[in-house]
Amino acid sequence: MRDLLADLPGVRARAMFGGYGIYQDEVMFAIIVDDELYFKVNAANRKDYEKLGSKPFTYTSRGKTVTMSYWQLPAEVMDDRPKILRWAEKSIRINSKPKR
């Protein structure tokens, strides 16, 4: 993670729920679970992930599947450092917007 996102200032990881939250300053924009990197997704960037066959992070709680708004970073993006940074910046903007 540090190598992939080294060009983004203020990036840090914090342990949480058996994985890690990835932050830029105080904005959590990604998670790492079971050695997989997931970025924050909403309607503004979901199609980018769907087009490359990505899937959202899910887990089971009390017998029900919970789907989160973090999607696995596609392998095609992982192999392209400038693209990783663009996708990370989109996810940071998504979580930086004021909640209504």
CATH number of residue 29's parent domain: 3.30.1460.30
CB 15 within 8 A of CB 1: no
Please check whether residue 33 lies inside any domain of the structure: yes
Task: With respect to residue 41, please indicate whether it lies within any of the assigned structural domains.
Answer: yes
On whether the CB atoms of residues 38 and 55 are closer than 8 A, the answer is no
Adjacent-strand bridge partners of 27:
24
Look at residue 65 and tell me if it is in a domain. Answer: yes
Distance CA 73, CA 48 (A): 10
Q: Has residue 6 been placed in a domain?
A: no
In a domain, 2, yes or no: no
Q: What is the DSSP letter of 54?
A: -
pLDDT band at 93 (very low <50, low <70, confident <90, very high): very high
* Greatest Cα-to-Cα distance within the chain, rounded to the nearest angstrom: 40
**Mean pLDDT value across the chain:** 91
Tokens of 61: 């709680």
pLDDT digits (tens, 9 = 90+) for 24-39: 999 999 999 999 999 9
Please report which confidence band the pLDDT of residue 95 belongs to, taking 50, 70 and 90 as the band edges. confident
* Overall domain count for the chain: 1
What is the pLDDT averaged over residues 48-53?
Answer: 96
Q: Which tokens go with 43?
A: 């309607």
Least confident of 26-30, 73-77, 94-98: 94-98
Question: Looking at residue 100, what is its pLDDT?
Answer: 52
**What amino acid is encoded at 2 in this protein?**
R
Residue 59, domain extent: 11-96
C-alpha–C-alpha distance, residues 55 and 38, integer Å: 9
